[in-house]
Chains A and B, each alone.
Chain A
Amino acid sequence: MQDAILDVKNLSIRYNGASEDAVRGVSFTLGRERLGIVGESGSGKSTVGRALLRLLPGARVTADRLRFEDVDLLDLSEREMLKVRGRRMSMILQDPKFSLNPIQRVGAQVAETYLRHFPANKAEARAKTLEMLAAVRIRDPERVHDLYPHEISGGMGQRVMIAMMLLADPDLVIADEPTSALDVTVRLQVLNILDGLVRDRGIGLIMISHDLNLVRNFCDRVLIMYAGRVVETLDARDMDAAEHPYTRGLLAAQPRIGGTRGPLAVLDRRPEWKEGSTP
């Protein structure tokens, strides 16, 4: 890809003390597009996301290539990394109940991103924060700005999280199960807000999820991960043409509105897929 934001080649990660790699030989590139990473729990999705932000202190990360725009993530110093995190690459975490600091007002937490990366005074940061809160379609930014995390709903909390992570206008956002902790009723709303902002601002998105249906609707391309390995890469619109039996299994295991009401297919798992042999 010409204007690749991210170029990952043969990425492997092993947690200290583990006997197996959590991520094994993962390769992919990302342009200004929306990439989904799908797989069941424990398949290594979050580990990939955190490795990109270099937030895996207790793990050994190796790769042939790990480029993010003009920087080599493999040998960037921590000092340099501080300028990348939040400013050029950020991450939306799963559950706002835990990912927001319980004793700080949400406005201050959002503003911190701005103050960290731009020479601004409090008033400027506040103006930017209010603007961003409005951008995630919070109707009354002035009021929400002064609330504490326990005073807002999960959907609202996740919008605050999105505001916080997009405020410094990054080039890449990793969304790690951004709606898994939310009520079903607000999931689509939150995803639409994120999707709108990502498209408008031309931000690259990595959407991590265990929900193939959700990802195929919000992404251009999807990586299917199984046991730390990418078993298949597909364009979202070609999903039904998936070849790998694991992907087909995932698709078959998804309930479809209007589909038949028979029992869902049970997911097949074979040890040889771990070794990456073609089916």
Chain B
Amino acid sequence: MSVRRTRLRGILGQITTIAVTLLGLLMLTFVIGRMMPADPVRAIVGEDATRETYEQVYLQLGLDRPLWEQFLRYLGDVLTGDFGNSIRTGKPVIEDILHVMPATVELATFAILIGAGLGIPLGVIAAVNKDRWPDHVVRVFSLFGHSMPIFWTGMIALIVFYAALGWVGGSGRMSQFYIGMVPTRSGFLLIDSALAGQWDVFRSAVNHLILPASLLGYSSSAYITRMTRSFMLDQLGQEYMTTARVKGLSKGQTIWRHAFGNIRVQLVTIVALAYGSLLEGAVLIETVFAWPGFGQYLTNNLIIGDMNAVMTCVLIVGVIFIGLNLLSDILYRLFDPRTK
């Protein structure tokens, strides 16, 4: 009874937190919109519109109303799914964003798989061998990944692995030759090409994905390695690890069967956060590899001052992080019996 009530209160608290965070986020994007030097009316009517047209649009946009009223109006628009139109394309920005998002999600997902697949084992190895040579090697390896200038490394990698060795595809999501050959269904090229049975396109897409995803994954593995190492070190000193050894388990068994379970939740949280920052747009890598994704979209619109687009991008990044936080909260409840 009381357990159920506490849990209910926990859920209500969570919903309130999310609502407040979202509201704050919307205020932020609203303020960004107002503070941008670009004139929203001029953006719509163009440079040579008459004074009347300008006035008319000015009133239509409600810019003469008090700020709080404008905010409420913005709130209403967003809640009904109206994020405004893009100046550049004239289409609703949400449509444009949904169009570029899959490219980034595809890249980020592969990158995080590589990053976690590399970072977690390396972190464990470093912790288990603390202050011995494997720890030092891992530290240097991840320091390098952390501090490499991704723009520069990206270009070098393209020159070496694409131009010189020909092991991977060059820039873009697939070879020029294949563009337009696969009907867009999900927007995820790997899925679409597989659905269409176009295995040549699929292979080309993988070839193009592998290099930028590896670079991104390597750079995000640095953080994952460091955190895994410190989580693991905490556990290795715990008394239950001695118990496990006394029972006759080998060192490796105590690590994977006992310690690892105890850091699982923390790992999920930091991997989710790393994934979030990848989704937010690996701006540099998307630029080097001419990857038509979210990062490029955001940068381009910042440069030309397309307010609606920028506001919506910021909003989406915020929502992604709220979502990931919620996810790690839920997993925490699922994995840690002490929270029940």
Instruction: Name A residues whose Cβ lies closer than 8 Å to a Cβ of B.
Output: 53, 55, 78, 82-87, 90-91, 93-95, 98-104, 109, 112-113, 116-117, 148, 150, 161, 164-165, 168
Contact = CB atoms under 8 A, between A and B. Distances in A.
A82 B250 contact: yes
B130 to A, nearest CB: 11
Contacts of A98: 238-240
Interface residues of B, number: 20
A112 B31 CA distance: 59
A101 B247 contact: no
A87 B244 CA distance: 13
B243 A93 contact: yes
B51 interface: no
What 7 pairs between A and B have smallest CB-CB spacing?
A: A86-B248, A98-B239, A86-B247, A85-B248, A148-B337, A101-B240, A99-B239
Interface of B: 238-240, 242-250, 257-258, 261-262, 335-338
17 contacts: A55-B242, A82-B249, A84-B248, A85-B246, A87-B248, A90-B246, A91-B246, A99-B242, A101-B258, A102-B338, A112-B247, A112-B257, A113-B247, A113-B248, A116-B248, A148-B338, A164-B247
A41 to B, nearest CB: 17
Nearest to B239: A98
Contacts of B335: 103
Contacts of A165: 246-247
Contacts of A117: 248
A182 to B, nearest CB: 15
Contacts of A90: 246-247
A100 B238 CA distance: 10
Given A98-B239, A102-B240, A148-B338, A55 B246 contact: yes
A153 B323 CA distance: 38
Nearest to A86: B248
A116 B243 contact: no
A87 to B, nearest CB: 6
Contact of B248 (A83, A102, A161): A83
Nearest to A104: B261
Contacts of B247: 85-86, 90, 112-113, 116, 164-165
Contacts of B258: 101, 104
